């Protein structure tokens, strides 16, 4: 019985996490998309930030630029960013813009 309950708990957490990070058709989807490598993470004042380099072209749209994570999901995105950084995985991000300090609206980790 304990194994069944634990399995259901794990499945529930995974499903909830997927819903948090799943692409949606809300206002957040209006941002720009980029495939990146995460170069660093940090906390500055009340903002959680990650440093990324776009890596789909020989001349990246941005390189080693700091972005601010959406405060409503910053803990989840920071955990995902740290995992991607430690495992040398790339991420697909939905950004408010390419400018330094712009907000990361969504973050998805993947490997080639």
pLDDT at site 29: 54
Instruction: Write down the pLDDT at residue 74.
Output: 94
pLDDT tens across 31-73, in order?
899 999 999 999 988 899 999 999 887 888 899 999 999 999 9
Which residues, 6 or more positions from 25, have their beta carbon under 8 angstroms from its beta carbon? none
Prediction pTM value: 0.71
Q: Is the pLDDT of residue 20 over 80?
A: no
DSSP states along 72-84: TSHHHHHHHHHHH
What distance in Å separates the CA atoms of residue 94 and residue 107, rounded to the nearest whole number?
Answer: 7
pLDDT band at 10 (very low <50, low <70, confident <90, very high): low
Q: Are 73 and 94 in contact (CB under 8 A)?
A: no
Q: Which two tokens stand for residue 81?
A: 């960013």
Q: Report domain 29-110's class.
A: mainly beta
Q: Read off the pLDDT of each residue in 4-30 and give the average, rounded to a whole number.
A: 46
Identify the weakest region by mean pLDDT among 29-38, 42-51, 72-81, 93-102: 29-38
Q: What is the pLDDT of residue 60?
A: 87
**Domain residue spans in the chain?**
29-110
């Amino acid at each position: 019985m304990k194994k069944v309950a634990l399995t259901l708990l794990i499945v529930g957490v995974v499903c909830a996490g997927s819903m948090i990070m799943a692409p949606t058709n809300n206002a957040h989807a209006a941002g720009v998309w980029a495939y990146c490598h995460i170069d660093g993470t940090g906390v500055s004042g009340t903002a959680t930030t990650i440093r990324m380099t776009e890596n789909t072209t020989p001349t990246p749209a941005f390189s080693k630029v700091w972005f601010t994570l959406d405060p409503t999901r910053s803990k989840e995105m920071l955990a995902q960013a740290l995992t991607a950084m430690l495992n040398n995985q790339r991420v697909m991000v939905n950004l408010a813009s390419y400018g330094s300090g712009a907000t990361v609206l969504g973050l998805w980790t993947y490997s080639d």
